Structure 1
């Protein structure tokens, strides 16, 4: 997928997407399928990103995210079926102690289908690469990887010069580069950071009994703990992902525990989860946790999307879903702009994107931050109040359904 020889004159395109992660690659495919001349630039060789040792995460994709992947031609390229989440149990407690009896249980009575789908990062990357290759082969997408670009913003266009010497002019550049976004910094868009002094520990376990699509979210004083159902393999038909937040002081020690002790610590947080005996499979990962948000999502001829615009605490698994919500809004606005003969990088279009996308993302960020601060507190009075709140919510099917629809991106 390397670039061809440099052209003598800039090539005119509609949209340049900088960053080939899940958000940028999905958006590029969607825009190309809609007929926009799209350039995707990614600094890393795409097939190198399929290495399972690079990323141990698994994503809980909402229905809105699934629809975005379908529209971009990605869903059919998943190398194995996504695992539907059919039930979610939310509880409060402490490690090595019985969980609170006050819980919230979400069943399919609150949803018209699965609450979401679990997709491992490596499977998503393979689907992205297959869809990018297919879309590029059809001639609707210019794929430049590995490559980096220098962006120069003018009032009526963006000039892009790749490190290979190729040059392009575009109506709009989209920063989908992740939390350390060079284009966001170049535009001098202020960034607000929210530190949590936590790290996330990620692993996969194989267990004796089937999970039946049931997920567990256990709120603990040091941070949330989740067991998320995964699709099985020939070697391990019953598997789950463990996503476990701990204080930055304790997390490295827990991450380095021998397997037998690590299993006991997981069991202490699973409570009475009915999955039988289990053991870890593969390696573990540890990540620092924080949240951040850009003060603006737009600048002249520039739009931010995904983690370039906002990064969330993983307490509700909404990080990638929030990014997909951004690009669903952005793709709709850009496609309509082209249909109506508007400048896709003009102020009217960009203002419409910020007006629609940023309030939704800020609500999600505030909700994740609020959950972390509410449940990451061991004050007895606060614990009693939130447990009673969980119990009350469990008895309010209308409110539960509204909560579910919001989480599903509907």
Structure 2
């Protein structure tokens, strides 16, 4: 991939391995353990409600870690922050592996979520600083694709290990190994930030360009950054929360809809797996669309599609209550694939928005606050889905979230052109 950053022309491919490989490894490990966390919590004596709460602690940890991770990355740098995140995840996983009660397991899961926040933000901050606007969406969509690929592969690897060992506890060893390998990769391979910064400085020196000395770059700090960009965070942060919410609700509502239709667990897993593969296949296409035609050409179809998909799912589930049939199941499969297409078209959009909006010289504090809004939506939507389902019905909950998706699309159409410049055609 040919790029221009601060003048010099270079290929991101020259540092692609240290840029993308750590994210893939980290997400494979986490993707393996996420499905077994509630199982292990129940094995340790937790109720179903407590098992669900412990599973949710990974997202709670991510929310807790989002904002301070921006400060940490700004202070110590991307690679050091990622190594520290891998070490923190290791500590959390050791607690999970040795857990003798649900509380110990919950602390380990919470620490894993905090480490995830810092790890993901560090790599996004690197992309924001070094990847030019004309290629930013493709680079970030590829990064998002690495995380999605890891979360897709991880559960299959977990199933294999459980089949070989007969123990769900052994799955934590997968993530332990993954974090160790991540730390080794980060230590052994060249630091991409240092490599690209050196190329930029060499170019400026060769051309006689005026550059700002490193010490002259003013860092505003976490709270000053949030205060200065409060208008952007309030408006674009709300859209990020709605996008994150629709995405996370899709992951929860599809299995629930399958259960409501009376499908077997294996059939539901197969449909969700196929839908996940469709989603994964589109991650780079999303980046191409955003870079060539503009962010809205990816974001709007994604949000409109997710909104319509939730509304269609409400109809399918509602009609099946009156008369469950094979036709209802067929429509469920079609809606699941449609929602995955919509989600895939928007792959990387939140990271791209964050990179577009963040200050180029010191993006980490802003990105921490911005990521918090999106992750808040991720956490809130499943809770809203559960509450509406308990109070009314699953069909009503799906319909309500569909309306929220269409509302989110209207907010995107209003705020994106105002705050995010249209990229140069590549």
TM-score between the two structures when normalised by the length of structure 2 = 0.26
RCO higher in structure (CA 8 A, sep ≥6): 2
Structure with bigger strand share is: 1
Using the size of structure 1 for normalisation, the TM-score is 0.27
